[in-house]
């Protein structure tokens, strides 16, 4: 079975631009979460979506938004990119909402110049 | 105060050694606990869940002490392939809260 997939793998953007990252969860999983990991730190929670609704949001500015589609795939959008947004963006899927194990995709490495 | 705290290491140990990692968490209402492993520039991979009764998976043993808000991971008979960063993770309901990770290097 396929695991969590993310696209693109790498991305280079300029300050002020917009970026869209995509994620497909494990088949049968209905919950998708997004995390940001900067070098030397553990991943930081951004959003969780379950059944197309936002179920949780971390301490990130409104420039970050996300959505989940009927097929449970998800997009993370970041507007007005800052240099500090350079990071590995990880998507994780789990069977349901709540305190479940989460399984991570390979991530999208975003560089903002 | 960070919600999940770990000693960042690095821990340098010879093959065959036993090594232990510890972690503390601040939210007493936390519901579930995990250890993840992360190789350089890769995604975190679930190593094992952690239960109050303690649990073992081959060479790996995890313990949870809810009263002390303390989690541990013991690796016996270390292999070169165990070299990685080990992330202590606490789930508060929907979000996974990660520690910064403990770096392990197993040497020949």
Looking at chain B, the whole-number percentage of residues with pLDDT higher than 70 is: 99
Greater model confidence, A101 or A63: A63
CA distance, residue B66 to nearest chain A CA (Å): 16
CA distance, residue A84 to nearest chain B CA (Å): 18
Greater model confidence, B4 or B1: B4
Q: How confident is the model at residue B1 (pLDDT cuts 50, 70, 90)?
A: low
Distance between CA atoms of residues A101 and B8, nearest Å:
23
Q: What backbone torsions phi and psi does residue A112 show, to the nearest 5 degrees?
A: -110, 125
CA distance, residue A41 to nearest chain B CA (Å): 5
Using a CB–CB cutoff of 8 Å, tell me whether B14 touches chain A.
no
C-beta separation of B99 from B91 below 8 A: no
Greater model confidence, B64 or B53: B64
Of A1, A3, A23, A21, nearest in space to A13 by CA: A21
- Interface size A-B, in CB pairs within 8 Å, comes to 57
Closest Cβ–Cβ partner in B4, B43, B101 for A105:
B43
Q: Is the pLDDT of residue B53 over 90?
A: no
């Amino acid at each position: 079975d396929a695991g969590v997939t993310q696209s693109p793998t790498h991305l280079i953007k300029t300050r002020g631009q917009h970026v869209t990252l995509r994620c497909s969860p494990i088949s049968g999983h209905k919950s998708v979460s997004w995390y940001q990991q900067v070098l030397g730190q553990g991943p930081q929670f951004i959003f969780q979506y379950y059944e197309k609704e936002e179920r949780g949001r971390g301490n990130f500015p409104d420039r970050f938004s996300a959505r989940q589609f009927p097929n449970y795939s998800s997009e993370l959008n970041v507007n007005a990119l800052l240099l500090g947004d350079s990071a590995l963006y990880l998507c994780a899927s789990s069977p349901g909402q709540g305190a479940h194990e989460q399984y991570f995709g390979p991530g999208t490495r975003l560089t903002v110049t | 105060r960070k919600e999940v705290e770990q000693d960042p290491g690095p821990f340098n140990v010879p093959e065959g050694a036993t090594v232990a990692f510890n972690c503390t968490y601040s939210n007493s209402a936390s519901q579930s606990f995990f250890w993840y492993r992360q190789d350089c520039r890769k995604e975190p991979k679930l190593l094992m869940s952690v239960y109050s009764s303690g649990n073992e998976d081959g060479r790996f043993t995890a313990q949870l002490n809810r009263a002390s808000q303390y989690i541990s991971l013991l690796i016996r008979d270390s292999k070169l392939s165990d070299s990685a960063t080990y992330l202590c993770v606490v789930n508060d309901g929907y979000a996974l809260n990660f520690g910064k990770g403990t770096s392990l290097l197993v040497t020949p």
